[in-house]
Chains A and B, each alone.
Chain A
């Protein structure tokens, strides 16, 4: 049994699985149910001046018969009075003293507003604060959420204001609706953030109803952009986490968020630098019980790998995440198809033939049996065939011994520059 405990910038929790600030953490009833189910922490649904929500609010993107590949919402922050939330937070923390109770906050970008809410919330005994500079819809139109999160100086300023009043750790939640997330992350750190959490949802329109021509979702025939999350956003979130993790100027712990649906996703985010993860869509799709399988899978993975504590995963892949210019241009893999296990669906052939490098031949053996073979000399090692192959393990990408020493683009440019300067020196002579 591995040690699953984590500590995010002074906020301990029994495992890395937190519920993200979202509909599942709207009430004390829900958060307490979540803790009973096994969640290690929860970020309470954003508190601020109560708002009015619309009906309907959610929409999802289904893919090839699978529900909820992506999820979209236009729900805003809490629509319940602050006092009610504070009472329930107090009760929840009292009942679950060892679980992480963090409260998400969003107020107007005014110093006194931040001071006021930080004090009120800390007074009921929370473990930390998360500043919501991320929600892309509704609140942004009022100058909050991602509207302030897209202005680095405003993020820095507001973080500072929150920190002036805060006794507990301050986590700044970042919006992905920006060109370079590390810029905002750095400003959060400059403002005194103890940690950053990312990503919030991505601007999205879930769909258009091709029969009514309404947006999906719509509110009485009208739609507005929402925030996208769920499995489809995982690669985007993972890359943003990685960018922050490898940036020395973002020198604070990271809470990873974005499409995490399983223990494997959790391992990936932690390897890529997250100290813990926050989850919402998976819980909304399956209920709080889904955390049981996450805890069990993570535990078995760590045991199988002989890793004593989950925190040993944090950041292990970060050094491997570099830039394109540092990739070895002489590294070569080729596809190899196992004719014994191949089921002859020919998907690799047509994918390669139509859209890649035309190097998978359809052949017939001496017994008249069809088989597929890669012309390795023409294979560029793009992985496409292995990606479209429906059976695991049929196509291997095999490393081939290159004839040239490793050389990156950056090496190459340097070498060329050296050569040019030498020749120009010679010319000068």
Chain B
């Protein structure tokens, strides 16, 4: 079967244009109107709905009274990745969803106001926070994503010497590499990284714990460790043809678009994305913007079971992405050059049996197999866990989800704490950037408390 089309890449100009931020920021007039519309509720529900408890009425009042520095500071104080969150938070499920004006008129555009204030901070080159006086303690943070950066920021403000070990060339984690540029430009995430670095936090990039530095070295050199390594790439589907040219891992696929040059020859391609989570949507919309002629999301369940946010789903539909519900991939077929030509699928139906997650289990309809002609297949069926790293650290876990005490964020090792996606799963934690930020803060506070209570001494006095 030789069905392969010759595909090209976008020009760099078209690529830059297609991946430029989609939603424009508020103008000053719009920001003034919107900020003045805020009721300034007392004990406001939006604050409670924010995982990082940003004092939203206060930051909005500061916008309304021409105090953007104060506004940005209020935001970033509560959320060290508040500029990214202004763009990526599912606000209608959080702050804006809780706004008391929902039924009366329209909720305040909190996300856009937060972006207005933090954009000012980014553009003005302000350094908003100062490190605390040194307390002589050292903390190593594994992973420089939202959780790790937040922990680092809070520890540095409390006087700790902090070193972040980041495997990738730049810190920021998901915000830098995993969220499509047209929603979150990389520069925003890198500004947040820079803000943390300005507090004296050392970020060692390109360092893999367990490869470039051993766990023993970290435990010997640092008083405490925060594990915030997130999750890995997409696991194999376990079907035939996954090694073919034109089969992509959604995480890598999105990451490759966070560059100056168009990464893949997708112009005119027929793309199938397998999965229906937020990463799958990102891979699909990236494909559209990379020039694909047709993008289908292939999902074995229905719209009701998909894990992508509603606003992501709506965005994908607007971008022209098609959805093949109740469709499961069986194998990927290629031509004699090893290039993808077809995805064989089978129709599914939902049985009445419920899975562990409470969702109805899909089962194949016998004999319903069909071939979908495609030029690229993107796998987006979840993320791998960092089993290797977790084992090196010797931490208890449940199928790769590090087990923690959610109040202290302590792991099974007394000097190792954990936050972010590495503790997300099996009913534990939340997968949002904003939750990771809060967990990072809490891990930092737990360490501060431990030292303050002096039940937990510097590693040169206590051997654990």
Contacts and interface: CB of A to CB of B under 8 A. Distances in A.
Given A343-B100, A343-B103, A391-B104, A64 B42 contact: no
Interface string A329-348: 00000000000000111110
A350 B39 contact: no
Interface in A334-374: 343-347, 349-350, 362
B319 interface: no
Contact of B100 (A64, A345, A362): A345
B42 A345 contact: yes
B43 interface: yes
Contacts of B305: none
A343 B42 contact: no
Contacts of A362: 43
B36 interface: yes
A344 B100 contact: yes
Contacts of A64: 36, 64
Given A64-B36, A64-B64, A65-B32, A344 B104 contact: no
Among A65, A343, A345, A362, the most chain B Cβ lie within 10 Å of the Cβ of: A345
Contacts of B41: 344-347
A343 B100 CA distance: 6
Nearest to A348: B42
Contacts of B42: 345-347, 349-350
Interface string B29-67: 000110110011111110000000000000000001000
Nearest to B41: A345
Sort chain B's interface into a size bin: 10 to 19
Contact of B64 (A65, A344, A350): A65
Nearest to A350: B42
Contacts of A319: none
A352 to B, nearest CB: 11
Contacts of A66: 36
A343 B42 CA distance: 12
Interface residues of A, number: 13
Contacts of B40: 347
B100 A65 contact: no
B69 to A, nearest CB: 15
Nearest to B33: A65
Interface in B86-107: 100-101, 103-104
Interface string B2-33: 00000000000000000000000000000011
A390 B39 contact: yes
A347 B57 CA distance: 12
Interface string A54-77: 000000000011100000000000
Interface in B101-146: 101, 103-104
A344 B32 CA distance: 24
Contacts of A346: 41-44
Given A65-B32, A65-B33, A391-B104, A345 B39 contact: yes
Contacts of B103: 343
A265 to B, nearest CB: 23
Given A343-B100, A343-B101, A343-B103, A65 B36 contact: yes
Contacts of A391: 104
Contacts of A65: 32-33, 35-36, 64
Contacts of B36: 64-66
A68 to B, nearest CB: 15
Interface in B335-377: none
Nearest to B36: A65
B45 A347 contact: no
A196 to B, nearest CB: 39
Nearest to A389: B39
Contacts of B33: 65
A69 to B, nearest CB: 12
A65 B43 CA distance: 24
Interface in A192-246: none
Nearest to B101: A343
A345 B45 CA distance: 8
Interface in A387-406: 390-391
A343 B104 CA distance: 8
A64 B63 CA distance: 11
Contacts of A350: 42-43
Interface string A140-184: 000000000000000000000000000000000000000000000
Nearest to A388: B39
Nearest to A390: B39
Nearest to A345: B41
Interface string A40-65: 00000000000000000000000011
Contacts of A390: 39, 104
B197 to A, nearest CB: 33
Interface in A370-429: 390-391
A349 B43 CA distance: 10
Contacts of A345: 39, 41-42, 44, 100
A66 B36 CA distance: 9
B349 to A, nearest CB: 38
A15 to B, nearest CB: 34
A374 B255 CA distance: 56
A340 to B, nearest CB: 11
Contacts of B101: 343
Given A64-B64, A391-B104, A344 B45 contact: yes
A111 B284 CA distance: 89
A216 to B, nearest CB: 15
B306 to A, nearest CB: 30
Nearest to B66: A210
Contacts of B32: 65
Contacts of B100: 343-345
Contacts of B104: 343, 390-391
Contacts of A343: 100-101, 103-104
A345 to B, nearest CB: 4
Nearest to A347: B42
Nearest to A351: B42
A64 B36 CA distance: 6
Contacts of B44: 345-346
Contacts of B43: 346, 350, 362
A344 B64 CA distance: 22
A362 B44 CA distance: 13
23 contacts: A64-B36, A64-B64, A65-B32, A65-B33, A65-B35, A65-B36, A343-B101, A343-B103, A343-B104, A344-B41, A345-B39, A345-B41, A345-B100, A346-B42, A346-B43, A346-B44, A347-B39, A347-B42, A349-B42, A350-B42, A350-B43, A362-B43, A390-B39
Interface of A: 64-66, 343-347, 349-350, 362, 390-391
The 8 closest A-B pairs by CB, nearest first: A65-B36, A350-B42, A346-B42, A345-B41, A343-B100, A64-B36, A345-B100, A345-B39
Interface of B: 32-33, 35-36, 39-45, 64, 100-101, 103-104
Given A345-B100, A347-B42, 14 more contacts: A64-B36, A64-B64, A65-B32, A65-B33, A65-B35, A65-B64, A343-B100, A343-B103, A343-B104, A344-B41, A346-B42, A347-B40, A362-B43, A391-B104
